[in-house]
Amino acid sequence: MTDLLTHVLIAFAVGQLVASVYPWVTRSYRTAILTGALIPEIVKIELVIPGYSLTTLLGTTFSWNPLASVYGVTISILIGTVVVVPDARRRIFLTLAVGVLTHIVLDIFVVQPAPTIGFLLWPVPEIEPRLVNIDLYRSTDWWLPFPGAAIAFVTWYFTDVATDSD
Amino acid sequence: MILSLRTRILIIIILLVGYAPALFLEIRGETPLYENYESHVGETVYDLNGIVVSTDPVEISVAGDRLRLTVRDLNMAVDLGDKIRIFGTVKPDRVIEAENVIIAGQSPSQLRTYLISFIAGLWVLFRIIRDFDIDWGEWALVPTDTQQESHD
């Protein structure tokens, strides 16, 4: 994974662009895009309750990783959709999905040890070679939020400030 | 579609249960080596995580020290305490033959990543609180700017 700040910054930029095309993407829906960018990161529950503890405890193989798979995030998006009022559901579903998509796309470029796409397509087993194998950065690269912030700022400037006639 | 609170709670429970098959199903290359190590000999590990506990030879601690493994054929130098991720083959006698290794984190960079990730989480949380209201009658979240529109 990329660090979360970079994920949110890129989701912010994407939200600005989407809003400039679809006027119904108001501030609340742009927030839903940012929230979507956090969804695959639920997998980091691993840091609090490691999967191996649960494997030992339950006596069966257990892994949090599929929470970040397409299957897992789809369930998470649906949960997010059910907790909002009926009028907003379709839009929340779409904006959360856009946010999740930005997350998955950014993570394609993260350096991985093996040339596979990992558990992304669970239950389809890991695919070799990786469909797209572009190693651009590590999640712990210190410089990563800077281009993220630059992209977010430029997008915000051209969609919000430069077009604001008020 | 207007759903009753009871139906919505039921849907959420069904969705939560829907996570389960994914969480409990074995993923290829992710089988826990610390359970019955020898039965995994010959398997490929795609993303084995461990913390370096010795550098000559390189030894890693896996799964909360449930297992210690010697790593052979490392393509890079590692330091004590490094968190590494290995793509390699399981060999007898608790040896991993590494094909590729990446350092997932050394303590300072890892800490910095957690910290800025936490800040990002707060940013989003703040925006959710600002941009969504709770409709206590419906027990549902309402996007605030659409709510204003309907009141106008």
Cα–Cα dist B104/B52, whole Å: 11
Strand partners, B50: B84
Residue A125 pLDDT grade (very low, low, confident, very high; cuts 50, 70, 90): low
What residue ranges do the domains of chain B occupy? 37-105, 108-151
Provide the chain B residues 2-21 that lie in CB contact (below 8 A) with chain A: 2-3, 8, 11-12, 15-16, 18-19
Cα–Cα dist A29/A73, whole Å: 18
Question: In this predicted structure, what is the pLDDT of residue B138?
Answer: 84
Question: In this predicted structure, what is the pLDDT of residue A130?
Answer: 58
Question: In this predicted structure, what is the pLDDT of residue B140?
Answer: 94
Residue B152 pLDDT grade (very low, low, confident, very high; cuts 50, 70, 90): very low
Residue A49 pLDDT grade (very low, low, confident, very high; cuts 50, 70, 90): very high
Question: In this predicted structure, what is the pLDDT of residue A158?
Answer: 92
Is B46's CB within 8 Å of A114's CB? yes
Asked if B116 reaches chain A (Cβ–Cβ under 8 Å), the answer is yes
Q: Which residue has the tokens 């989003």?
A: B124
Q: Is the pLDDT of residue B121 over 50?
A: yes
Q: Is the pLDDT of residue A122 over 80?
A: no
Asked if B126 reaches chain A (Cβ–Cβ under 8 Å), the answer is no
Question: In this predicted structure, what is the pLDDT of residue B150?
Answer: 44
Average pLDDT of every residue of chain A? 88
B102 to chain A: closest CA residue: A113
Q: What Rg do the C-alpha atoms of chain A give, in angstroms?
A: 17
CA–CA distance from A63 to each of B99, B107, B113, B119 (Å)? 24, 24, 23, 26
Which architecture characterizes domain B37-105 according to CATH? Beta Barrel (2.40)
Q: Is the pLDDT of residue B60 over 60?
A: yes
Highest mean pLDDT among A11-25, A48-62, A114-128, B2-16: A11-25
Asked if A7 reaches chain B (Cβ–Cβ under 8 Å), the answer is yes
What residue ranges do the domains of chain A occupy? 4-161
Is B146's CB within 8 Å of A8's CB? no
- Cβ contacts of B152 within 8 Å, gap of 6 or more: none
How does strand B67-72 pair with strand B95-105? parallel
A40 neighbourhood in chain B, CB within 8 Å: none
Question: Do A121 and A69 touch, CB atoms closer than 8 A?
Answer: yes
SS (H, E, C) chain A: CCCHHHHHHHHHHHHHHHHHHCCCCCHHHHHHHHHHHHHHHHHHHHHCCCHHHHHHHHCCCCCCHHHHCHHHHHHHHHHHHHCECHHHHHHHHHHHHHHHHHHHHHHHCECCCCCCCCCCCCCCCCCCCCCCCCCCECCCCCCCHHHHHHHHHHHHHHHHHCCCCC
Nearest to B143 among A28, A63, A78 (CB): A28
Q: Is the pLDDT of residue A84 over 80?
A: yes
Question: In this predicted structure, what is the pLDDT of residue B151?
Answer: 41
Is A138's CB within 8 Å of B124's CB? no
Average pLDDT of every residue of chain B? 87
